[in-house]
Amino acid sequence: MPVPLPDPLALSAARERQSRLTKPLGSLGRLETLACRFAAWQGLAIPRRLQPAITVFAADHGVCCEGVSAYPAAVTVEMVHNFTRGGAAINVLACETGARLEVVDVGVAGVFDPVLPIVHAKVRAGSGNLLREPAMSAEECAAALEAGRRAARRAVEAGATLLIAGDMGIGNTTASACLIAALAGLDSTTVAGRGTGIDDAALARKRDIIAAALQRAADRCTSPADWLAEVGGLEIAAMAGFYLESARLGQPVLVDGFIATAAALAACRLEPATRHWLLASHCSHEQGHAPALAALELEPLVDLQLRLGEGSGAALVVPLLQAAIALHAGMATFAEAGVSDKDA
């Protein structure tokens, strides 16, 4: 089934309504554009209030053994437990926004009790060390993509009309930087940032590792799917699958930060029409995020200097989107309010 396009008739009707609301046209800035985009996405001149769903994908990364993170790899499994106890930032934000929250283990190195309230979809226990070997096989990458597709279907079947993918995986900024560099034609200095807060020496080492990984994989990669398997991550591939399926189902995606944007770039390289269903929430403090967004031609809504992940930046923007839709739906037109328009 091909990716549908947003509804042009609903978009036109929403723009016409914006021109009749009791305000100077354009005075609400990007809020007007946002309301019209959701009109096109929903196929309604007046879009309905959003029902957000957040899916956090968790996986470990073999490259952690090269010293690219300020935190030990054990934090990934510990944070998954934290998610289930409601103690993470994304738990708080999901509660604040009324979002459905699901956690998916697609590649954590630890072993979880089967009764833990997460989705158990482990493809393998952590990716390979991308500096020295493929992060995953083509078959494992395909399985991770499918885990993400299934998660998107679950969210939509539960009533979601706005989908957010979050990440948890120590070392995943290195994999994301590799993938962005490969798919956007950027160098390691441009894309590599401090991630969880590494020092100057670790940052220099991280840049060297990214450059070496790209060189190692170059002769093996002839497609975006090859690059995703060679230098990506299991949770990154799952997020890409999540975006691909969301677009196929005609549901908009609010893209989070650096890791989420790497996954979005992979999804768009695999299926360019996916981009029609993407909205960038924020520009993170991670160095490579702005050029990654530029490669996707996406303009972020806010810049709060975030670098947490988990879907947190996207969740913070949900109230802004709800306000844009509420203004579009609830404001009176000039005729309804008995207010003179500028051409009267």
pLDDT tens digit string along 201-256? Answer: 999 999 999 999 999 999 999 999 999 999 999 999 999 999 999 999 999 999 99
Band (pLDDT 50/70/90 cuts) for residue 344 is: low
Which of 7, 86, 84, 74 lies closest to 39, judged by CA? Answer: 7
Q: Enter the pTM of the model.
A: 0.97
Band (pLDDT 50/70/90 cuts) for residue 342 is: confident
Which of 182, 144, 149 lies closest to 60, judged by CA? Answer: 144
Band (pLDDT 50/70/90 cuts) for residue 341 is: confident
Residues pairing with 279 in the sheet:
254
For the domain covering 8-47+325-337, report its CATH number.
1.10.1610.10
pLDDT tens for each residue of 95-132? 999 999 999 999 999 999 999 999 999 999 999 999 99
Give the C-alpha separation, 272 to 231, whole Å: 21
Give the C-alpha separation, 307 to 69, whole Å: 14
Handedness of CA 40, 46, 51, 54 (dihedral sign): positive
The helix (H) or strand (E) run that includes residue 103 is strand 100-107
Residue 92 has pLDDT above 60, yes or no: yes
Q: What is the pLDDT averaged over residues 181-187?
A: 96
Q: Which residues are catalytic?
A: 310
Between residues 196 and 183, which one has the greater pLDDT? Answer: 183
Q: What separation, in Å, do the N-terminal and C-terminal C-alpha atoms of the chain show?
A: 49
Q: What is the pLDDT averaged over residues 142-168?
A: 98
Between residues 1 and 70, which one has the greater pLDDT? Answer: 70
For the domain covering 52-323, report its CATH number.
3.40.50.10210
Residue 196 has pLDDT above 90, yes or no: no
- pLDDT at residue number 269: 98
Residue 1 has pLDDT above 90, yes or no: no
Q: Cα dist. 88→56, 170, 180, 312 in Å?
A: 11, 15, 27, 10
**DSSP string of 270-329, one letter each residue:** H-GGGGGGEEE-B--SSTTHHHHHHHHT---SB-------TTHHHHHHHHHHHHHHHHHH
Q: What is the pLDDT averaged over residues 274-293?
A: 97
Asked whether the beta carbons of 171 and 259 are under 8 A apart, the reply is no
CB-count exposure of residue 158 (10 Å: 0-12, 13-18, 19+):
exposed
**pLDDT averaged over the chain?**
97
Q: What are residue 69's phi and psi, to 5 degrees?
A: -125, 150
Residues pairing with 100 in the sheet:
53
β-strands 162-168, 52-59 pairing: parallel
Residue 161 per-residue DSSP state: S
pLDDT tens for each residue of 312-333? 999 999 999 999 999 999 999 9
Residue 12 has pLDDT above 80, yes or no: yes
Domain boundaries, the chain: 8-47+325-337, 52-323
Q: What is the pLDDT averaged over residues 287-316?
A: 97
